[in-house]
Amino acid sequence: MAPEPLSRRQLLRDLGAAAFLWFLRPGVASALGGTLPPLGQPAPDFHLAAVTPDGRGGATDTELSLADFRGQWLVLYFYPRDFTSGCTLEARGFQRDLASFRSRGAAIAGISADDGESHQSFCGSEGLAFPLLSDLDGAVSRRYGSWIAPYSQRHTFLVDPGGTLRQVWTAVRPAGHSAEVLAALEQLQAAEPASPASL
């Protein structure tokens, strides 16, 4: 006797269950934008065109890589688009708390699929004093599990001075996010043993 063909509803239910189980597979963290890099491992490398504010109201086009931040903590935040309400709110929060991050030895860098011209305008209009990087094809965003074409997803990664990924936020709410990241940075730093150089 031949098995009964699956109905459309049964097929969709079974596919949904399989996708859910794939998403929850052990040892792999996933987010809406893909597979996240594992905590405690080296952060995925990147080398991207960037707009770096010059502190005088202008900005310069440059290129930045993960290695450029070696020796300091890095708050690497991915966001969908310049000038949108949530992205503007998030950038303003990081700008507001920038002095506190710097006093704790941390740099901030934002990544989106926007081009350099858009980043220059956004930095200028919001008075941002930290770099914004252009991931035009989403290659770096994909490495960080933060890409649903054509946009980077709102995820934040905290990388330690040695380049190790220490914390990840995926369900980011722009309001108050900067304070949340700063608190986590302070907690991680407080838990670390003092280095001989600081004694």
Question: Could you say which of 87, 98, 140, 159 is catalytic?
Answer: 87
Q: Per DSSP, which regions of the chain are E strands?
A: 30-31, 34-35, 47-53, 59-65, 73-78, 106-112, 132-134, 147-148, 151-152, 155-159, 165-169
Please say if 87 is a catalytic residue: yes
Q: What residues are paired with 34 via a beta bridge?
A: 31
Q: Check residue 28 and give its pLDDT.
A: 45
| CATH code of domain 40-185 | 3.40.30.10
Say if residues 185 and 75 touch (Cβ distance below 8 Å): yes
Position 8 pLDDT exceeds 70:
no
Say if residues 119 and 82 touch (Cβ distance below 8 Å): yes
pLDDT tens digits, one per residue of 12-51: 565 444 344 344 444 445 566 789 999 999 999 999 999 9
pTM over 0.85: no
d(CA 191, CA 108): 21
pLDDT tens digits, one per residue of 111-124: 999 999 999 999 99
Identify the band that residue 198 occupies on the pLDDT scale cut at 50, 70 and 90: very low
